[in-house]
Chain A
Amino acid sequence: MPDHGLRITNLRCQVAGKEILKGIDLTVEPGKIHALMGPNGSGKSTLAFSVTGHPQYEVTAGSVDLDGEDMLALPPDKRARAGLFLSFQYPAAIPGVKVANFLHAARQAERPGDLPPAKFRALLLEKMEQLGIDPSFMGRYLNDGFSGGEKKRLEMLQLAVLAPKYAILDETDSGLDIDALKDVGDSIAALRASEEGHNTGFLIITHYPRILSYVVPDVVHVMIDGRIVKTGGHDLAHRIEREGYDKLREESAVVA
């Protein structure tokens, strides 16, 4: 029986010599939605980047396995091809590279030869319609001149087109209005309802419980100062909404 799940074990990571992650244990099972909450600077984005292989994030201990495969031994592109996806909080703009060409290249890289160009185009149009994205997006340069909301929509489009095994959404909700948040929720629901994405596991990073009204998590983790200090069900998100992080911070300080 293969070891299914995105399994993060005792992960420690430093950036520019400063330890940010201080031993993270977390497993996202196929088809499950985990929320990772925590205040600014707690290390949530560092977890996202270290798991996906950003070169500036140095993993000093621990392991990350995707369905039993060691991710830390692989460069970022191979982690993606193994089925890992990161929705960026601040996606890079790449002038001159058209959205449609980039998505086709990414789909080809991750699933070589699975769709001829015409079928890919049909898939892209279908996903764009589902997400309420104007077809003119296809001819625009990647994130170049995009509004914050448009960038997030494009991340969701990529999620839909690539249908990864595990998706980390790094503050996809930040800067979005209620309607756009609902769209994010709908796009995750649409992926989960699709044949390709019904088993995708999610790690949704956020510091506001708002998005969790649209995407109901199976598990909620709270990270403070590079450690997961609490894990619980959806009610944990509600507790944070009522009490904020201070009380949890105090409790974790007592435990530490």
Chain B
Amino acid sequence: MPSPAPVVADRDDATQELYDLVAGLDPSPFSVEERTRALDRFVSLRSGREKPGRFWRVDFEAIAPEAKMIDLSAANVRVENHDPAVFVCDLATAARECPELFARAFGTTNIAATKFGSLTAAFAQCGVFVHVRADHACDVPIVISYSAPAGAAIFPWSVVLAERGARVTIVERLDGGAGAFLCGATEVVTEERADVHYAAFQQVADGARILWNRAARPGREARMSWASAELGGELAASDLSVSIEAPGVQANLTAIFFPRGSEHVDVVSTVDHRAGDATSETVVKTAALDRGQARFLGNIRIAPHAQGSDARLRDDALLLSPTAHVDSVPALEIGANVVKAYHGATVGAIDAEQIFYMESRGLERTAAERMIALGFFEPAVERFPTVQLRDEIRAALAAKLS
């Protein structure tokens, strides 16, 4: 666990209630002391997110669950795993029965050092640990579902350890009722030549808020793919990161988001090339409708010694209403001199020539716009694993367009 942040001297009543709650929690997967320090960090750290202003309505510094929403038994957790060779259990079981294995992955990313990752650490209780042993190929995707009842706050934590040469696909489904608050974390740690594809599909209800931090540390010559579809909630904030600490890694990051109505989506992707001869490709597709607003910050960092890195970042945004707003900020920090780095970003409305082309083939304007908008997402949708998941995402996008 990271070192404690300074303790805030004067706590308001709402914050004190959170501390009181933490003091009574189970000491697994974090001890009460660790939870308290995590809460300290949550209270004192800045989110690093945009402040409210001319466009932005959301003040991330003011986001906190109310203590009365927190019922840690309320989380509905389901796991579908059809491969007996893959070990799957809850976090408490992992900490108790295979502590050394668990410790190789759990808490080894920087999640608990971030503001909302700290909040998850303070209240983490439900969660799933997945262990794929060396050279095992798990051919059927493992599905992890977290769901929060209306008005409840839950703090799930998923941990994946894929050993040398292991291969697995994991689909994370996130759901929540109106007014729910989900603040979760997913850590993936892999060893040499492992191949992990982790896809998250978020469809929480209108009026729910969801903040999720996903961090991966792939091993040498491993392949790590994150794919995230943020398609629900009045507020969705997502951090997607890969820390490349060994050479030869191939990292793929994909994000799809589509705020409409008064929804707000805020996604930060980070690929840290800290070892050379690795490739990363980030593909982000955003559409915004009505007063929906989205912000994407895409970080690519290449350390001075990470020679031979090849990093690509492609981010396209489609504005479907004059009142929608999308900010796209690709940020490249390149310290090495023998690298390939590419970034491209577009923000715009549907091209009138595309619409006319489709109309000239008999499609009504609304049908043409819909087909173009769905097509816009397709290069990203195709990067998600499993036909079923891709079809579900297409259906969810189509529903948002209707």
- Interface set of A (CB-CB < 8 Å, partner B): 52-56, 75-77, 79-81, 85-86, 88, 91-97, 102, 105-106, 109-110, 141-142, 158, 162
Contacts and interface: CB of A to CB of B under 8 A. Distances in A.
Contact of A106 (B356, B363, B379): B363
B376 A95 contact: yes
Contacts of A85: 360
B11 interface: no
B372 A94 contact: yes
SS class, residues of chain A in contact with chain B: mixed
Contacts of A106: 358, 361-363
Contacts of B379: 95-96
Interface string B344-385: 000000011110111111111101100110111111000000
A91 B353 CA distance: 9
A105 B358 CA distance: 10
Size category, B interface: 20 to 34
B353 A158 contact: no
B378 A91 contact: no
13 contacts: A77-B360, A91-B357, A92-B354, A95-B375, A95-B378, A96-B379, A97-B372, A97-B378, A102-B371, A105-B361, A105-B363, A110-B361, A162-B361
SS class, residues of chain B in contact with chain A: helix
A92 B359 contact: no
The 3 closest A-B CB pairs, nearest first, are A96-B375, A96-B378, A109-B362
Contacts of A110: 361-362
Given A75-B365, A105-B367, A109-B362, A54 B356 contact: yes
B360 A76 contact: yes
Nearest to A142: B375
A81 B364 CA distance: 10
A231 B372 CA distance: 41
A226 to B, nearest CB: 22
A256 to B, nearest CB: 33
Contacts of B371: 94, 97, 102, 105
Given A86-B360, A92-B357, 18 more contacts: A55-B352, A55-B356, A76-B356, A77-B362, A79-B360, A80-B359, A80-B360, A80-B362, A88-B360, A92-B351, A92-B354, A94-B371, A96-B375, A97-B374, A102-B361, A105-B363, A158-B361, A162-B362
Nearest to A143: B357
A141 B374 CA distance: 12
A94 B360 contact: no
Nearest to B372: A94
Interface in B28-69: none
B363 A94 contact: no
